[in-house]
Every structure is written in C-alpha cells, then in structure tokens.
Structure 1
Amino acid sequence: MSGIASWFDWFALLSLIVLWVGYTVFAYRKGQTTACLASVLALYRRDWMYRLLGRDNRIADASLLSSLRASVSFFASTSILVMAGLITGIAASEEAVGVLSTMPFVTTYTRELWELKVLVMLIIFVYTFFEFTWSLRLYNFTCVLMGSAPLMHDISGNKTEQKVFADKAGHILTLAANHFNYGLRAYYFALATLSWFIHPSIFIISTIMVVVILYRREFHSKVLDALSVSERE
C-alpha cells in the first residue's frame, strides 16, 4: 500500500480520521456540561412534545414532523446520487488523472492514488447514507409515538404520565436529530476531502477549518445565544 500514496497522503488521511472522531467525542462530552445547539434544542423538543398533549388537533405537529422527515429524506437521496457519481469516477480513473495532471500543484497523478481518494469519499457517503436513513426511521418512530399520544383530558392532572410521554418522545426526536447531525457533519468533512485531490497539505488545512467552523456554530453561534436567552433570564 505504501506505493499507492506518499507518507504525507497517509498522514493527511489519518488527520481526517483523528480530527473527525476527536471532534465528535469532544462535542458530545462538552455538550453534557455546556449549552450547545444539540442540548438546547433537546429541551425545546421535550417542551414541544409536552405541549402537543394539550392540543386535540395535532395537524400542525404532524406537518412540522413531516418537514423534518423531508429534509432528512432529501439528504439520504442525495447521498445515493453522490455514491453513484463516485463509482462512475472510479470507472473513469484514467480520464480523470489525465485531466488532473494538467493542473498545477495537483498531486493526484496516478490511477491508484485517484482510486484511493475516491474510495475514501465513497466510504464517507456510505456512512452518511446509513446515518440519514436511521434518522429517518427514528422520525418514523416519533410519528408512531405522536399517533399514540393520549389526550390531555384523559390524563388531566396526571403530571407523571405527561412527563413520561414528553421525555420519551422528545428523546426519540433528539436521537433522530443527532443522527441527522452526524450525517450532515460527514458532508462537511467530505467537502474538505475534495481538497485532498489537490494537495495533502490543503486537505489538512481544510479539515482543521471544518472543525473550527463546526465548533463555532455548535458552541458559540448567534443562533445559540438566541435559543438560550430564555434559560439565562
């Protein structure tokens, strides 16, 4: 395998794996003790399910859930299309390498190296497909929970039953959102991987930039401040 890519290429690929996995673990642990988009929205989802119990007409809730499912379905379908394009790219390796070889600063100059990089991209989008489809199934499970939600007059005064339903349905919704987030995060890293076709150093820089962008958006964004204002007051 060492003849396929240089040590710098392998180092860049290792950097992607370490930064991706490292940030995922870091964001999960930090989110347990610090306000972030995931933790704050989890509270809103629980409140949403609690308020759903007070509505006899739940058409608006079903419409909102349908919108969430549609966005996940769109990305799942897009992942299939991207995978088809990448498989085509492997089949057209010689033509692709011929085009890249005419560009300055491009280090992807052999068929084997091209196929390796495309294969990495393909693995990433296979992962995104599994994340999006599981997220979609979790949203389907939430539909079942919402359909079985008791009416408020049936459990009026029973705060325990209300809380149990809201916690359960909100938790499933949060799991669905988390897996959608994992898939979307993979898209960001896949875009960074595109720069690997130019040069490994640009690939490493792009990956670091993705981590910085994700961190700022999840922990220090203006939307987080807006969502958290009610908790601080």
Structure 2
Amino acid sequence: MHMLGPLSPLDFLALAVLVLAWFLTGWLSVHPPAGRPSVTVLMAQYRRDWMEQFVTRQPRIFDASIIDSLRQGTAFFVSTCLIAIGGGVALIGDPTPLANLASDINAETALPLVADQALIKIKVIVVLFFLAEALLKFIWSHRVFGYCAILMAAVPNDPADPVAQHRAAQAAEVNIQAAKGFNSGLRSIYFALGTLAWLIGPLALITATVFVTGVQLRREFFSHSRRAILDRGPV
C-alpha cells in the first residue's frame, strides 16, 4: 500500500472517520431531530425548571450543594486530563514502552501492528488532541458553573420581585452552557479512549470509532435514562 509519510491512505481514512464522528455526535446532541430530543436537550429544560423552583425555595442550601457538586465534577476531570496529558507527552518523548506493548500485542494476536516510532508519536498526538480539547472544555465548564453560582446568589429572596424571574432565567441559561461544556469534555474523553485502538491499526480505529459513536448516540437517544427523563409526569 502506498504510504503518505508514516501514514497510509487507510490511516487517513480512519482519522477522517474519527474526526467526522466526533463532530457529528456533538452536533446531534445539541441539534437533535425534532421528533426525538436528546438527553442534552431534555436536561436543559429541567435546568430551567430548577431555576424556577429556586426562586421560591427557602432556604437555598440544597441548590448551593448541587452547584458545588457540579463544580467538583469538572475539577475532578480537569485533574484527570492533566495527568493523562502528562503521560501522553512523556510517551512522545520516549515511545519505546508503547512500541514494546504494541509488539507484545502483535505477538499474541498476529495483528499487523506498526512499530514505527514516528507513526506511534502521531497516534499519541491525536489522543492528546482529544484530551486537550476535553481539558479546555472542563476548565471552561468549571468557570461557567461559577458564573451560574454568582447569578443564583443575585436572585432576590422575594418571589414577588420582578427581577427574581429574570435573574433565575439568566442563571438557567448559564447553567445550560456550563453543562454543554462538560458534556463536550466527556465526549472528547470517549473518543480519546477510542483513538488508542489506532495503535493496533486503522481498521481497529474505524471499529473503535463506530463503537464509541454508537455508545454516545445510544445514551443520548435510546437509553433507559432518557426514557425516564422524558416522562415529565402530570402537567
């Protein structure tokens, strides 16, 4: 097969499938078909409902605890991504351990692994791209959840105050944006894990991409959780 640098045409095809799947799953979660809203869209409405209840809830300790737990979740993934990126950078500096692992897998499975260190570095860089994307999304989500907490603190305690509903609606929209960033970060982690299959070969990457995409779409559109969320009960 003709090689384009260290990458073959099949590698380029697998990479294109990966990037396209990553983009489309993110787009579909935010812009689902009209007749089948995604979990992301459904939860956005619940976040608006939350802020409507927040206006009249006294005391508001429960709401503060929820925001704090959401920020802790983003902080956890920020730390996780930093550790993973550090390990990936170390592998780029010395990919020998990864090449040895690839050789061991090849010996056991007879799969056509390529031990070319330049090729391994390229594959690790793609994994790092997704991890870096996830890191930036989690950092931004953490910050926006902080904005939401401040907006919630600015909601008047008097439900009769006309400013209360407006401030609560602002907090809801900021909360939704923070959640979108968090979901995007999780999605990038999923695809970073799928990209590791590229170490076995381009066909393995395509297979892993299809699997990861299927998992993402199932959880957004066909999961048991979605069915439970969709049932809003008596109106």
Which TM-score applies when normalising by structure 1?
0.91
Aligned CA distance change for structure 1 residues 109 and 170 (closer, same or farther; 3 Å): same
Task: Indicate yes or no: 2:115 matched with 1:113.
Answer: no
5+ residue gaps, structure 1: none
Pairwise CA RMSD: 1.9
Mapped to 2, the partners of 1:101 and 1:5 lie a distance apart of 18
2:128 to 99, 103, 122: 122
Task: Please list, as runs of the form range in 1=range in 2, the aligned pairs for 1:75-114 lying within 5 A after superposition.
Answer: 75-104=77-106, 105-114=111-120
Aligned CA distance change for structure 1 residues 214 and 182 (closer, same or farther; 3 Å): same
Which range is displaced more, 163-172 or 80-89?
A: 163-172
Mapped to 2, the partners of 1:55 and 1:113 lie a distance apart of 57
Mapped to 2, the partners of 1:58 and 1:131 lie a distance apart of 28
Which one-letter code corresponds to 1:147 in the other structure?
Answer: A
Secondary structure, aligned partner of 2:32? helix
Mapped to 1, the partners of 2:217 and 2:159 lie a distance apart of 44
Mapped to 2, the partners of 1:191 and 1:169 lie a distance apart of 33
Per-residue deviation at 1:225? 1.2
Residues 47, 166 of structure 1: 8 Å contact kept: no
Which one-letter code corresponds to 2:73 in the other structure?
Answer: S
Task: Indicate yes or no: 2:42 matched with 1:40.
Answer: yes
Please name the residue that 1:210 is paired with. Answer: 212
Task: Please list, as runs of the form range in 1=range in 2, the aligned pairs for 1:130-141 lying within 5 A after superposition.
Answer: 130-141=136-147
Residues 194, 208 of structure 2: 8 Å contact kept: yes
Task: Please list, as runs of the form range in 1=range in 2, the aligned pairs for 1:1-233 lying within 5 A after superposition.
Answer: 2-30=4-32, 34-104=36-106, 105-153=111-159, 155=161, 158=162, 161-230=163-232
Mapped to 2, the partners of 1:32 and 1:150 lie a distance apart of 36
CA offsets, 1:138-167, max 9 Å, x none?
Answer: 100011101111112551xx4xx4442232
Secondary structure, aligned partner of 1:227? helix
Mapped to 2, the partners of 1:55 and 1:203 lie a distance apart of 50
Which one-letter code corresponds to 1:26 in the other structure?
Answer: L
Identity of aligned residues (%): 31
Per-residue deviation at 1:232? 7.9
Which one-letter code corresponds to 2:134 in the other structure?
Answer: T
Aligned CA distance change for structure 1 residues 226 and 96 (closer, same or farther; 3 Å): closer
Secondary structure, aligned partner of 2:37? coil
CA offsets, 1:33-52, max 9 Å, x none?
Answer: 63221111111111111111
CA offsets, 1:165-214, max 9 Å, x none?
Answer: 23211111011001100000011111111111012111101111111111
Per-residue deviation at 1:27? 2.9
5+ residue gaps, structure 2: none
Mapped to 2, the partners of 1:154 and 1:177 lie a distance apart of 29
Which TM-score applies when normalising by structure 2?
0.90
Which one-letter code corresponds to 1:115 in the other structure?
Answer: K
